[in-house]
Structure 1
Amino acid sequence: MADSHPAVSQHPLYRAEQVRELDRRTIAGGIAGFALMQRASAAAWQCLRERWPDVRSLTVLCGAGNNGGDGHVLAALAAGEGLVVQRVLLKGIEELAGDARRAADMATAAGVGARPWRAGMRLEGELLVDAMLGTGLAGEVRGIYREAIAAVNASARPVLAIDIPSGLHADSGAVLGAAVRAAATVTFIGDKLGLYTGAAADHAGEVLFRDLGVDARAEVDLVPPAQLLDESPLTARLPARRRGAHKGDCGHALILGGAPGFGGAALLAAEACARLGAGKVSLATVPEHVTASLVRRPEVMVHGVRGAADLGALPTLADVLVVGPGLGQGSWGQGVLQAALDAGRPLVVDADGLNLLAARYPGTRRDDWILTPHPGEAARLLGCSAAEVEADRPAAARALHERWGGVIILKGAGSLVVGPGGMAVCPFGNPGMASGGMGDALSGMLGALLAQGLPLEMAARLGVLVHARAADFAAADAGERGLLAGDLASYARILVNPTGLDGDV
């Protein structure tokens, strides 16, 4: 695996246009379009039977084009195995052409009835199959398609989406006005970036990729815009330590934060940093938070700092600086951030560190920092709205990297990591992470990985991965509600030790 793509599997994610080109090349290479459609439908049918083996009736909603054609063929397969199939048409059979018309005629020949969509019609199947709109959708969903999507979502029935949930943008993961909420999505030939970030978390369900015998990676000119993170690199990138190691070998991280009234954020970052293996962790915070730090985590070397002048040489003695957790935007935070920027050390910048960058350092660009914005902070860094960031998260992450340099972590469902090696997407994490302090824990983890000598981009990708998986293990133990940022450190510690990956946490 090349280091230009550290900490990722060889699972590429493509844009819709690239997958359509793969489809065209496959057909040009000698596989008939209808044969490819049959492969896709057979794969979808197999996924359906594996996930819902007891279902005896389906409603298949078919639109136009190849996506609708997949639905027609699946309907024929289901009928052939004795299921009761209701076929609902968003596009009349007489209006179809080519492979889509051939697929519709196949379903008719198999004895599957066809009823045109009408508002208020009853969806009869135990399971609904969404084959209405494919990856070619670019504009907002309107008319009967919007009506049908609303009816599907109101039905409270499980949904299998074919290739992509109707209404979800295949490249950005944004909802184009309305989108189907699927329990599972089976997608073909090339996996889609939009299935793993943004609104996809609430619409795609479990994503099941089937390549249909097409090796997308063989088409070297179709460079995937992103890769999907997985856990396989952890043991390779974080090997067991040599027996003679001492704390000086494991790096020194300095956490700068905790303005008056905001001490908790800096303490969470410092503890996470220590738990992930930094040899020495220092914390520079206001004097009134020193006692709390000593009580909570006496292993952290805490310094009471009334202002930037009190820092002295401390920032230059550390291997990496984490600035931002609980920093505030007042004079204390401003002075501390300036000292961090002047120290000439690699940086992790989070929270109010990012807000101060946007307000006071708009022209700054560095290659030695990791910036970790959530959508609101990203919007301030880009001079746009949070809604614009969420409308195209991949584009926003790339824009942040172009403007600010270094490595960008755009947090949220399907966090994105963008650096010189490209984009990586994290498919892990859970809604329990929607609680205060999660970003502070992440920044501390990133500081620990950098302190131990990992390159910037590798540390960013592994840090996001460990943070999300730790939250998943914590939720599996005790549930998502009530999951606290402070719960993550102990699980993350197990993940970064190779023996902890051999079994369940």
Structure 2
Amino acid sequence: MQRSPSSSALTTATLRPLYQAAQVRELDRRTLASGIEGFALMQRAASSAWHSFRARWPQARSVSVVCGAGNNGGDGHVLAALAMQSGLKVQRVSMQPLEALEADAARAAMLASAAGVGVTLYRPDMVFEGDVIVDALLGIGLSREVEGDLRAAIEAINAAGRPVLSLDIPSGIAADTGAALGVAVSADCTVTFIGDKVGLHTGDAPGHAGEIYFRPLGVKAQAFFDILPAAWRLEESWLAAAFTSRPRAGHKGTFGHVLVMGGAPGFGGAALLASQAAARLGAGKVSLATAAEHVGPSLTRCPEVMAREVRGGADAAAMTKGADVIVVGPGLGQDAWGQAVLQSALQADVPLVVDADALNLLATRWPTLSRDNWILTPHPGEAARLLECSVAQVQADRPAAVRALQRARGGVVVLKGAGTLVAGPGGLVVCPFGNPGMASGGMGDVLSGMLGVLAAQFDELELATRLGVLVHALAGDGAAKEHGERGLLASDLASYARVLINP
């Protein structure tokens, strides 16, 4: 079988790097050590945020700027001065008395006062008066649950019913994990500085950050070769580089034979969805190993899929011969039939995509099994079972969870959810695409079928996984854009994905 060659345009070097909070602080420290004054960097941040503010809300005539005690608050004080100089009515709210501020934050507060901006010390009954609220409360230093006046201020911002701009990160979101620490600001947009943060793109953060604008402030993070990105952000530009024209002399064998194994008695839909997705993404051949009752419906739904009855392990093992990639798990069940089918897949010496009940069986029946040539695709519940922890623990630090699972099980691991993560030998990537309409039955089955065909067509399993996650999310976004999020079905995605992968 001929496989698509790897492309230099499909490496992490072409993606936006993402950093942890400690790394961003180190980048900031080194920038200051190079001779740039800290207050000058603060002014750059405030100026870039102000430009984003004016671009987003050109009709705004007033603004409430809520400032914390640190440098994030300092950014807010400078932005308040810029807003005043531009003729806006400014309500500046400080969580601390100005005389208690220190270093650059104190200097920023003095600048705003010199510009004629009044200041009010925060109180619980305060009403935010601006057309837009600027959240400059906490920044990236948060490491514990928000409480006290800070919690009350965040709740008041969210209850105000006004659009919100967050500086660097929505207050209350952990920069490394994306988890909301008790409560977090729900912003319409976030302007983040120096280095983009991992936690802005996964977990709770996508529901709080709104549109994200990255402003490096003149800092070239990747020039510091010893500060390696914690992750990278997938980009739509990868599609054109990956899905070039097919060879004119190609044939069915050129484009891969995908075998989908699943659909226990009474659970046929998932396997049918995975099979059809594999066919729509360009597999040369798709076979389906399923219970007898699902063969007829499969032929009706998609006659191009070669569906065959599987009664047990012997039938399943016979079907694995000749497959280039096996997708196992959709509708598999966890009884004897599912166990026999999964064992047949595990004995095959081809790449596997392992999903749904196959993951649950791995957790209970093969708790220590690992291999290099498989893709595991758990949602948080399945990841928790594989890691023997709670779903809350997985969601509290999704990057750590997916890395731990990849170390334990090998291969490539996809942790599904808002800000899907892909962990493999080449590092961690985050998919910033997708939408709430995709929170419906069968979406994971469609993803597994897409991953199967791409694993059959690309030399690198990790690259195929990243592309599959990207195509799946963008297809969901395309379907939602055209018809809306409510009522989006998994079966809608295949046609949108087909458009994306054709040059």
Q: TM-score range by the shorter chain?
A: over 0.9
Q: SS of the counterpart of 1:313?
A: helix
**Structure 2 counterparts to residues 101-250 of structure 1, below 5 A:** 101-250=106-255
Deviation at 1:238, TM superposition (A): 2.1
> In the alignment, is the contact (CA less than 8 A) between 2:81 and 2:117 conserved in 1?
yes
Matched to 1:282, the amino acid is: S
**Structure 2 counterparts to residues 446-465 of structure 1, below 5 A:** 446-465=451-470
> In the alignment, is the contact (CA less than 8 A) between 1:149 and 1:179 conserved in 2?
yes
> In the alignment, is the contact (CA less than 8 A) between 1:255 and 1:284 conserved in 2?
yes
Alpha-carbon distance in structure 1 between the residues aligned to 2:15 and 2:179: 25
Deviation at 1:453, TM superposition (A): 3.4
For residues 426-475 of structure 1, the C-alpha deviation after alignment (integer angstroms, 9 at most, x for no partner) is 00001100100000000000001112234100110000000000000011
Alpha-carbon distance in structure 2 between the residues aligned to 1:93 and 1:12: 36
The answer to whether 1:13 aligns with 2:12 is no
Matched to 1:206, the amino acid is: E
**Residues 68, 409 of structure 1: CA spacing in aligned structure 2 closer, same or farther, 3 A cutoff?**
same
Alpha-carbon distance in structure 1 between the residues aligned to 2:466 and 2:9: 12
> In the alignment, is the contact (CA less than 8 A) between 2:12 and 2:232 conserved in 1?
no
Alpha-carbon distance in structure 2 between the residues aligned to 1:100 and 1:69: 4
**Structure 2 counterparts to residues 214-363 of structure 1, below 5 A:** 214-363=219-368
State the aligned residue count.
498
Matched to 1:9, the amino acid is: T
Alpha-carbon distance in structure 2 between the residues aligned to 1:327 and 1:59: 55
Q: SS of the counterpart of 2:83?
A: helix
Matched to 2:379, the amino acid is: H
Q: SS of the counterpart of 2:294?
A: helix
Deviation at 1:401, TM superposition (A): 0.4
Q: SS of the counterpart of 1:130?
A: strand
Matched to 1:219, the amino acid is: F
**Residues 3, 391 of structure 1: CA spacing in aligned structure 2 closer, same or farther, 3 A cutoff?**
farther
Alpha-carbon distance in structure 2 between the residues aligned to 1:453 and 1:155: 50
**Structure 2 counterparts to residues 300-449 of structure 1, below 5 A:** 300-449=305-454
> In the alignment, is the contact (CA less than 8 A) between 1:72 and 1:104 conserved in 2?
yes
Matched to 1:172, the amino acid is: T
> In the alignment, is the contact (CA less than 8 A) between 1:255 and 1:283 conserved in 2?
yes
Residue aligning to 2:65: 60
Normalised to the residue count of structure 2, the TM-score between the two structures is: 0.98
Matched to 1:431, the amino acid is: P
Q: SS of the counterpart of 2:140?
A: coil
Residue aligning to 2:56: 51
> In the alignment, is the contact (CA less than 8 A) between 1:253 and 1:448 conserved in 2?
yes
For residues 349-369 of structure 1, the C-alpha deviation after alignment (integer angstroms, 9 at most, x for no partner) is 000000000010011010000
Alpha-carbon distance in structure 2 between the residues aligned to 1:254 and 1:184: 43
> In the alignment, is the contact (CA less than 8 A) between 1:6 and 1:457 conserved in 2?
no
Alpha-carbon distance in structure 2 between the residues aligned to 1:221 and 1:18: 10
Matched to 2:481, the amino acid is: A
Deviation at 1:260, TM superposition (A): 0.9
Deviation at 1:8, TM superposition (A): 7.0
Alpha-carbon distance in structure 2 between the residues aligned to 1:336 and 1:140: 46
RMSD (Å), alpha carbons: 1.2
Which residue among 99, 104, 109 is the counterpart of 2:104? 99
Alpha-carbon distance in structure 1 between the residues aligned to 2:449 and 2:68: 49
> In the alignment, is the contact (CA less than 8 A) between 1:8 and 1:228 conserved in 2?
no
Residue aligning to 2:3: none
Alpha-carbon distance in structure 2 between the residues aligned to 1:381 and 1:491: 32
> In the alignment, is the contact (CA less than 8 A) between 2:15 and 2:235 conserved in 1?
no
Normalised to the residue count of structure 1, the TM-score between the two structures is: 0.97
For residues 249-286 of structure 1, the C-alpha deviation after alignment (integer angstroms, 9 at most, x for no partner) is 11100000000111000000000000001100000000
Deviation at 1:92, TM superposition (A): 1.3
Deviation at 1:404, TM superposition (A): 0.5
Matched to 2:309, the amino acid is: G
Deviation at 1:3, TM superposition (A): 6.4
Alpha-carbon distance in structure 2 between the residues aligned to 1:146 and 1:400: 34
Alpha-carbon distance in structure 2 between the residues aligned to 1:279 and 1:450: 13
For residues 209-236 of structure 1, the C-alpha deviation after alignment (integer angstroms, 9 at most, x for no partner) is 0000110000010001100000212222
For residues 266-314 of structure 1, the C-alpha deviation after alignment (integer angstroms, 9 at most, x for no partner) is 0000000000011000000000011000000000000011112222422
Instruction: For structure 1, list consecutive stretches of 5 or more residues without a partner in the other structure.
Output: 499-505
Q: SS of the counterpart of 1:327?
A: coil
**Residues 312, 351 of structure 1: CA spacing in aligned structure 2 closer, same or farther, 3 A cutoff?**
closer
Matched to 1:148, the amino acid is: A
Instruction: For structure 2, list consecutive stretches of 5 or more residues without a partner in the other structure.
Output: 1-5
Deviation at 1:341, TM superposition (A): 0.2
The answer to whether 1:32 aligns with 2:37 is yes
Alpha-carbon distance in structure 2 between the residues aligned to 1:411 and 1:340: 23
